[in-house]
Chain A
Amino acid sequence: MDLELAEEQQMVIDMAKAMLEEHCPTQLVRDMEDDAHGVPAELWSQMSDLGLNGLLIPEEYGGGGLGLLEGAFVYEELGRAMAPVPHFVSCVLSAKVLLAAGSDAQKEAWLGKIADGSAILTPAWLEPERGQGEKGIALEAKSEGATFKLTGRKRSVPYASAADQLVVLARTDAGVDLFLVDPNASGVTMKQLLSQGREPQYQIDFDGVAVSAENRIGEAGTGWATWNAAMHEGIILLAAQAIGGADRCLVETVDYANQRIQFDKPLGAFQALAHYMADASTRIDGGRVLVHEAAWNADQGRTIARFAPMAKLFCCEAYRETTRVCAQIWGGVAFTIEYDQQMFFRRAKALQLSWWDTPYLEELIASDVLD
């Protein structure tokens, strides 16, 4: 057992941290809230230039070919910066889906562009009034010779207006399949949905959208398995993101608690408040090791059926709880828009409920443990 970072790993962290400190100030995060496009050009191009967008993509497609553990280090920094970028949807989920099940032509067409940031892909997964499991996919893809006709509605598709391709989960005769769909195709209409995390997300209606069979990703009926596997890896990174957000929120709060005087002493000198912060730090540090353990296991080729949902469940709860107690320490200013605390507070809850929410994660863990 050894939790020390390798030199190269520390370099990845330092590089991401320095770049984000320079190119992702809080003002940028604020400016991008509810932006219809949502991709800050300079930050995105910095990420591409530094190889962060291709981090998890194999070298043969122009990526860095690094593991999920390195991904977790970077995601902690993205979370710390609240970076408003489509990295997760494009460079993680879409890339992983294509890598696992895409045809050679699909991989050639998109992975290089995802890696260098010149193309953005995003999954169209959730549907109104439907759950997050396989049963939740109702959007119909009807086979008509060499094409499929897609009909139905997706909700909460992140960065859809900036996307070059949508990765659509749809129901076919074979089960659930994944399709690459041009968002400009005839029959696709989009409407922006405002949400708590304030990232751009869209409702998309598919009205008999024709998709060539060549654009199906993987064999018929394998879409859910592909998606499920990509999500298991992806949520480990989101857990790291949660730790990053929680950690920054706590660091800023500790700083404030050391300076703000009440009743003739700094807030941090009040045990009730100090204990909130000690608890938060314990959850953050424990969650971080759990994330690393989950990512490390994935990189070793071991099952993450239990670890991945545990990491997201715990770290997102830690993030939410940290932002709650920190808001308590900041007092009234915490819920004014002028201060940054409210941004952490909203994002923590949004992240907790996004990409598999608490009940879904609990059930994944319970079924792995009990069934």
Chain B
Amino acid sequence: MDFDFSPEEQKFAEEVDAWLVENRDPVVMDHHRENFTQLSDTPERRAFMKKLAAKGWLGMSWPKEFGGQEIEGVYEYILNEALSKHAAPQIGKGVGIIGKTLIRHGNDFLKQKFLPLILDAEIEFAVGYSEPEAGSDAANMQLRADKVEGGWLLNGQKMWTTSAHFADWYWVGARTDQDKPKHDGLSLFLIDMDNPNLEVQSLPTIGKDTTNQVFFDDVFVPDEYLVGQQGKGFQMISEALDLERFTMFTLSPIANRSEVLVDWVKEAKRDDEPLKDDTNVRRTIAHIMTDTAVAKALSTRFVCAAKSGGKPPTIESSQYKLFTTSLSQRVCKDALDIQGHEGTIMEGQDDAPLRGRFEGAYRATMNETVGGGSSEIQKNIIARRHLGLPKNF
């Protein structure tokens, strides 16, 4: 048992850290802002991602024949954690979920077309799994894909596609077999977001970010843009989520939040008395930091399970996601409780504690226990696959 990174891993962590200090861009890297790649898009962020690509840091775990370095996924974890420690954007779903699924299952055409674009940070993806009738129940997707000559015609609607308003390509699950059991009738497609028959309607959220609903009206997708085997969509989606969940919900943004709160509490005063001397505040901080340590322990367990190969780290991934996303919300809630009424002042207003960081985060983190497989889905996975409870629900 060893909780340290290996010397090589440690060296890489230090290299990334030093590079991020040297290449600090205050526009892209801001500790007062939540910063997830997939939620926002600016020229500065695209430029930053190009710099990461130039360092060869995108797709490190990919096979060499596809431009990767064939090193373990733990390096991507280290990179992501370092990026979020510096409040920089993450390497994101292109490298992880989409790139790796294409490598595992995609045809040669898709590999040749998309993998180099991902490695060069030339492309932004949106992921379309959710639908009005299929949120957490991904197997219940109803978007129809009907076979026509040379391709497929897609009709229906997607919901909660976070980056559809700026993405270049759309990674979409659709029902290709109407008569098969629902898990077996789904397939994955890549769709050009410029397709005129796709209509993106933005949905403002209570956070700062926008999500979207997307309407498909006879959207034609050529045959070669079917990802992997027809009917294996659900299996590919599940596999990617199991393997790549730590690229979607890295720990550092959450650990960062705890640290930012601690640093603030250390300095803050109320009626001239140090806030940190308040017993309730001390107790709250003790629990936040303890739970953050547990979240870190669960992430270590997840990364080690992923690293050891063998079976996908499904349980480790679900437990990590369940615990961590709930902690993330709790930290924001507790921070507002500590800040009291002043905590409700929004970013940009005078007198907002920490420039409104926790007010904004409180609203923004609401999606974490819902997106990427809701907490209840994670509990079902744990109950059935880990504890062996019956599948009746």
Contact partners of A366 in chain B: CB under 8 A: 282-283, 285-286
Interface centre among B4, B276, B290 (most CB of A within 10 A): B290
In angstroms, how far is the closest chain B Cβ from the Cβ of A11?
Answer: 14
With A275-B376, A278-B383 as contacts: A266 and B390 at CB distance below 8 Å? yes
Q: Determine if B21 is an interface residue (Cβ-Cβ < 8 Å).
A: no
With A277-B383, A278-B387 as contacts: A363 and B282 at CB distance below 8 Å? yes
The stretch among B22-30, B56-64, B114-122, B291-299 that forms the contact with chain A is B291-299
Q: Determine if A6 is an interface residue (Cβ-Cβ < 8 Å).
A: yes
Q: Determine if A173 is an interface residue (Cβ-Cβ < 8 Å).
A: no
The stretch among A83-91, A106-114, A140-148, A291-299 that forms the contact with chain B is A291-299
Contact partners of A9 in chain B: CB under 8 A: 1
Q: Determine if A157 is an interface residue (Cβ-Cβ < 8 Å).
A: no
Report the Cα distance A2→B74, complex, angstroms: 11
Report the Cα distance A2→B319, complex, angstroms: 18
Report the Cα distance A279→B265, complex, angstroms: 30
Q: Determine if A257 is an interface residue (Cβ-Cβ < 8 Å).
A: yes
Report the Cα distance A9→B1, complex, angstroms: 10
Set A258, A310, A369, A371: member contacting B389, Cβ < 8 A: A258
Q: Are B300 and A293 in contact (CB under 8 A)?
A: yes
The stretch among B33-41, B204-212, B301-309 that forms the contact with chain A is B301-309
In angstroms, how far is the closest chain A Cβ from the Cβ of B107?
Answer: 35
Q: Are B322 and A278 in contact (CB under 8 A)?
A: yes
Contact partners of B350 in chain A: CB under 8 A: none
Q: Determine if B379 is an interface residue (Cβ-Cβ < 8 Å).
A: yes
Q: Determine if A249 is an interface residue (Cβ-Cβ < 8 Å).
A: no
With A265-B392, A271-B393 as contacts: A290 and B293 at CB distance below 8 Å? yes
Q: Are A287 and B294 in contact (CB under 8 A)?
A: yes
Contact partners of A293 in chain B: CB under 8 A: 3, 293, 297, 300
Q: Determine if B382 is an interface residue (Cβ-Cβ < 8 Å).
A: yes
Q: Are B392 and A3 in contact (CB under 8 A)?
A: no
Among residues of B, the one whose C-beta sits closest to the C-beta of A250 is: B387
Q: Please provide the chain B residues from 1 to 25 with a CB less than 8 Å away from any CB of chain A in the complex.
A: 1-6, 9
Q: Please provide the chain A residues from 243 to 288 with a CB less than 8 Å away from any CB of chain B in the complex.
A: 250, 254, 257-258, 265-266, 268-271, 274-275, 277-279, 281-283, 285-287
Q: Are A286 and B319 in contact (CB under 8 A)?
A: yes
Report the Cα distance A293→B300, complex, angstroms: 10
Contact partners of A362 in chain B: CB under 8 A: 282-283, 286-287
Q: Are A1 and B5 in contact (CB under 8 A)?
A: yes
Contact partners of A105 in chain B: CB under 8 A: none
Q: Determine if B330 is an interface residue (Cβ-Cβ < 8 Å).
A: no
With A282-B322, A310-B290, A366-B286 as contacts: A265 and B383 at CB distance below 8 Å? no
In angstroms, how far is the closest chain B Cβ from the Cβ of A275?
Answer: 4
Set B276, B286, B376, B389: member contacting A254, Cβ < 8 A: B389
Q: Determine if B180 is an interface residue (Cβ-Cβ < 8 Å).
A: no
Q: Determine if B380 is an interface residue (Cβ-Cβ < 8 Å).
A: yes
Q: Are A3 and B379 in contact (CB under 8 A)?
A: no
Q: Determine if A365 is an interface residue (Cβ-Cβ < 8 Å).
A: yes
Report the Cα distance A245→B178, complex, angstroms: 49
In angstroms, how far is the closest chain A Cβ from the Cβ of B320?
Answer: 9
Contact partners of A250 in chain B: CB under 8 A: 387
Chain A, interface SS category: helix
Contact partners of A258 in chain B: CB under 8 A: 388-390
With A268-B383, A275-B379 as contacts: A286 and B297 at CB distance below 8 Å? yes
Q: Are A282 and B323 in contact (CB under 8 A)?
A: yes
Among residues of B, the one whose C-beta sits closest to the C-beta of A69 is: B1
Contact partners of B290 in chain A: CB under 8 A: 310, 313-314, 365
Encode contact with B along A310-354: 1 for CB under 8 Å, 0 otherwise.
Answer: 100110000000000000000000000000000000000000000
Contact partners of B390 in chain A: CB under 8 A: 258, 265-266, 268-269
Q: Are B392 and A1 in contact (CB under 8 A)?
A: no
Q: Determine if B386 is an interface residue (Cβ-Cβ < 8 Å).
A: yes
Contact partners of B293 in chain A: CB under 8 A: 290, 293, 306-307, 310, 314
Among residues of A, the one whose C-beta sits closest to the C-beta of B292 is: A310
Contact partners of B282 in chain A: CB under 8 A: 362-363, 366-367, 370
In angstroms, how far is the closest chain A Cβ from the Cβ of B100?
Answer: 21
Q: Please provide the chain A residues from 226 to 258 with a CB less than 8 Å away from any CB of chain B in the complex.
A: 250, 254, 257-258
Q: Determine if A4 is an interface residue (Cβ-Cβ < 8 Å).
A: yes
Q: Determine if B52 is an interface residue (Cβ-Cβ < 8 Å).
A: no
Report the Cα distance A169→B2, complex, angstroms: 36
Among residues of A, the one whose C-beta sits closest to the C-beta of B295 is: A286
Q: Determine if B266 is an interface residue (Cβ-Cβ < 8 Å).
A: yes
Report the Cα distance A6→B1, complex, angstroms: 7
Interface centre among B3, B276, B304, B323 (most CB of A within 10 A): B3
Q: Are B382 and A282 in contact (CB under 8 A)?
A: yes
Q: Determine if A137 is an interface residue (Cβ-Cβ < 8 Å).
A: no
Q: Are B323 and A269 in contact (CB under 8 A)?
A: no
Report the Cα distance A257→B390, complex, angstroms: 9
Q: Are B1 and A310 in contact (CB under 8 A)?
A: no
Report the Cα distance A238→B291, complex, angstroms: 18
Q: Please provide the chain B residues from 46 to 99 with a CB less than 8 Å away from any CB of chain A in the complex.
A: 74
Contact partners of B303 in chain A: CB under 8 A: 1
Q: Are B308 and A269 in contact (CB under 8 A)?
A: no
Contact partners of A369 in chain B: CB under 8 A: 262, 285-286, 289
Q: Are A313 and B379 in contact (CB under 8 A)?
A: no
Report the Cα distance A55→B107, complex, angstroms: 57
Contact partners of B376 in chain A: CB under 8 A: 271, 275
Report the Cα distance A112→B125, complex, angstroms: 66
Q: Which 5 A-B pairs have the closest CB atoms?
A: A269-B392, A289-B297, A268-B389, A366-B282, A278-B379
A-B contact pairs, 19 of them (CB 8 A): A1-B303, A3-B305, A4-B308, A69-B1, A254-B389, A265-B392, A270-B393, A274-B387, A274-B393, A282-B319, A286-B294, A286-B297, A286-B323, A289-B301, A292-B3, A307-B293, A314-B294, A369-B262, A370-B282
7 further interface pairs, Cβ-Cβ under 8 Å (given A274-B379, A366-B286): A6-B1, A265-B390, A274-B389, A292-B1, A293-B300, A369-B289, A370-B282
